[in-house]
Structure formats: structure tokens, C-alpha cells
Amino acid sequence: MKIAVLPGDGIGVEIVAEAVKVLNALDCRFEMETALVGGVAYEALGHPLPEFTLKLAKEADAVLFGAVGDWKYDTLERPLRPEQAILGLRKNLGLFANFRPALCFEELVGASSLKPDLIAGLDILIIRELTGDVYFGQPRGRRVSTDGHFPGTEEAYDTMRYSRPEIERIAHVAFGAAQKRKAAGSIGRVTSVDKANVLETSQLWRDVVEEIGTHYPDIALDHLYVDNAAMQLVRQPKQFDVIVTGNLFGDILSDEASMLTGSIGMLPSASINAQGQGLFEPSHGSAPDIAGKGIANPLATILSAAMMLRFSLNQPEAAQRIEVAVKKVLAQGLRTADIYSAGTMCVSTVEMGSAVVKCL
């Protein structure tokens, strides 16, 4: 099994190192190869997604990804910015299905900004479509009026676009996931989020999801407008089971949902293509403000490695062993700074990784 390891920028290097340590502690055989991606790749090789990195990712069974980005690259032209690396990987590998669980760990109920009874036991899965929508719509661009008709007028545009097959396949992923979760005790509901009261793209989305839903009579389906969904997520988050939505709405709602649980530093994610190949990364970003300090939380990346074992490497037992080890470490009271509270023990990135290895 071949894993492409792409740590990237900021805290990416520190947290991926801990996940690699955990993988090496398992009794599985992996071939791991590391490559540059993001801002560090731009600095070393002039491009955020060098050819070698893309080739390595394509040829691997799975990609373990850290994070990309730093404010210092904000003035670069868009194709050279670190974010283009992750967008390029998603598009080139066809990673259309993004799984972003928002799970509340019992020990961390107090870390949420919502009242404990609203989030205790929370277990939502956001499925975000990842290779379409306004992120990849053509044309994209910026016009500056030069004909003198509208002196000083500038205009910028991006195209929101979805096709029926793109919506069908992500809907199947969402209903399939809801079925699996139902078998494990969830309520068996898919909530599709759109803005069908305004957008044509969303009306198509709604119609197609509704159609696909008829193939899954055991799963309840409802639809919410994205503004209402954002509100419901903080009002009564436990009403949700699986949420399926487009690329842009999913970007926003998954950040919101992740913070309901108290720490975005705890949440893994998986991006899968039609062949089951996947990219696995923490839900959080590169956090340049704390990079190099040894205080970042490696658990989201370690849990992403567990998702990788389950989704792409067919090692569900190993995945579960990692998840159990993470729970044990939390139960022992170990906390990185982002989830620290009085009465617990504050540990570094490396200490947290080592504690997981010890529990394994």
C-alpha cells in the first residue's frame, strides 16, 4: 500500500509527522513517500503543486495531506497561491466526495461555545461536493471597463455550475453513507442544503437529489435553504444526521459544524474519488500563527490517517485501533492547548502523538 505524504505549510509538517509516527506503530506494511506541496513547494520549485507531487499523489493508493497556505502568499497571482495545490489535487484526482464528520468527543463537551446539552453526543456527517460549483465554474474572471462607457467600473465574476451526473453521484454517496450510519444506529436522514429559492443551480440540485432519494426508501430526505441550515446548525445541531451540499455551501457549513464540537483541531476529513482513492486531511488549516511552536493538535490528522485506513486501504481494524487510542488519550486527560481546560494536562504536539502510539 502506497501512501503519498504531503505535509504542506505551517503546522502541516508537525501534525503529519505525528500521524506518520502512528501509522508506523501499526503492524501494517506501508510504503510512504513525502513531497512538497503549497507555499513551501512554490518557494522551492516555483509552483504550489509541482509535477512530481501530482504524479506521486496520482500513483498512490491514498494521500495523507497536512495543510497549505500562509498570509505571506496573499499577494501572489492566484494560480501560484498555495490553495491552488489542494484545488488542483481535488480536480486532478477527481476527489468529488468530501466527508467531514462533526463529532463531539464526550471529554470535550465543555470546549464548545454552545450549551453542553445541545452538543453532547453530536454526530453529524457533512458530505460536500468537491469538484464542481463556483470553485471550478467557467468562465471565471475579472473585467475592467476600458470603453469609457462606465468610467471606473470594474466587474468580477465566477460561474456557479452543476450538471446532473455530478449531483447524482454525490447524492448516491450521501444516501449510501446514511444507510451505513443507520445500520449503526443513526436516524437515517439526509438533509440536502441549497438555495433553490434564488439559484437555478440549486433548483437542479434539489430536483436531482429528490429523484435519487426515491431509490433509498429507507432513508428520510429533507431540504433546507443554506441560510436556514446555518441557523439550524447552531440552534439544534442534533436534528441532523447526514447533510449533503455543494462545494461552496459545504465549505462554509463544515467550518461551522466543526466548531460546534469545540475544537476544529479534532476533526478529520476524507476526499474520495470514484475508484475509492482518497486524500485525507484535517478539517483545519495551516495555522501559520502557531507553526513551529510544537503546540498544534495532531489528533485531527491522526484521525484522518484512521479514515484513510478505512476508506482507501481496506484496514478497518487498524482504523478502529487508532480511534480507540485517541479516545483513551483524551480519557487520560491529555490535551493540546486548543482543547485545554482546567484540571487536564497540557501537552505538546509530539507528546500527544507519542501518547497515541503508547495506547496503540
Binding-site ranges for ligand IPM (CB under 6 A): 69, 83, 86-87, 251
Give φ, ψ of 64 to 5 degrees: -100, 120
Annotation marks residue 195 as catalytic? yes
Contact 7, 34 (CB under 8 A): yes
86 binds, among Mg ion, ligand IPM, none (CB under 5 to 8 A by kind): ligand IPM
How far is it, in rounded angstroms, from Cα 201 to Cα 98? Answer: 19
Taking the complex as a whole, the smallest distance from the CB of residue 251 to ligand IPM amounts, in Å, to: 5
Q: Which is nearer to ligand IPM, 83 or 168 (CB)?
A: 83
Query: How far is CA 108 from each of CA 32, 198, 264, 348, rounded to the nearest angstrom?
Result: 33, 39, 12, 18
Q: Which is nearer to ligand IPM, 251 or 323 (CB)?
A: 251
Comparing CA positions, the residue from 31, 38, 1, 28 lying closest to residue 281 is 38
Largest CA distance in the chain: 70
45 binds, among ligand IPM, Mg ion, none (CB under 5 to 8 A by kind): none
At 109 the three-state DSSP class reads helix
50 binds, among Mg ion, ligand IPM, none (CB under 5 to 8 A by kind): none
Taking the complex as a whole, the smallest distance from the CB of residue 350 to Mg ion amounts, in Å, to: 27
Taking the complex as a whole, the smallest distance from the CB of residue 275 to Mg ion amounts, in Å, to: 25
Annotation marks residue 293 as catalytic? no
Taking the complex as a whole, the smallest distance from the CB of residue 255 to Mg ion amounts, in Å, to: 5
Directed axis angle between helix 316-331 and helix 349-359, to 10°?
Answer: 120
Q: Which is nearer to ligand IPM, 291 or 334 (CB)?
A: 291
Q: Which member of 195, 216, 241, 338 is catalytic?
A: 195
Q: Which is nearer to ligand IPM, 130 or 357 (CB)?
A: 130
Which residues are at the interface with Mg ion (CB under 5 A)?
A: 251
Taking the complex as a whole, the smallest distance from the CB of residue 163 to ligand IPM amounts, in Å, to: 20
187 binds, among Mg ion, ligand IPM, none (CB under 5 to 8 A by kind): none
Taking the complex as a whole, the smallest distance from the CB of residue 170 to Mg ion amounts, in Å, to: 17
How far is it, in rounded angstroms, from Cα 60 to Cα 129? Answer: 22
Q: Which is nearer to Mg ion, 123 or 251 (CB)?
A: 251
Contact 39, 67 (CB under 8 A): no
Annotation marks residue 180 as catalytic? no
Residue nearest to ligand IPM (CB): 83
Give φ, ψ of 80 to 5 degrees: -105, 0
168 binds, among Mg ion, ligand IPM, none (CB under 5 to 8 A by kind): none
282 binds, among Mg ion, ligand IPM, none (CB under 5 to 8 A by kind): none
Cell 495551516 appears where?
286
How far is it, in rounded angstroms, from Cα 202 to Cα 59? Answer: 35
Q: Which is nearer to Mg ion, 251 or 323 (CB)?
A: 251
Comparing CA positions, the residue from 276, 331, 284 lying closest to residue 303 is 284
Annotation marks residue 289 as catalytic? no
Burial 107-117 (b: 16+ CB within 10 A, else e): bbbebbebeee
Q: Which member of 251, 327, 328, 340 is catalytic?
A: 251
Active site residues: 135, 195, 227, 251, 255
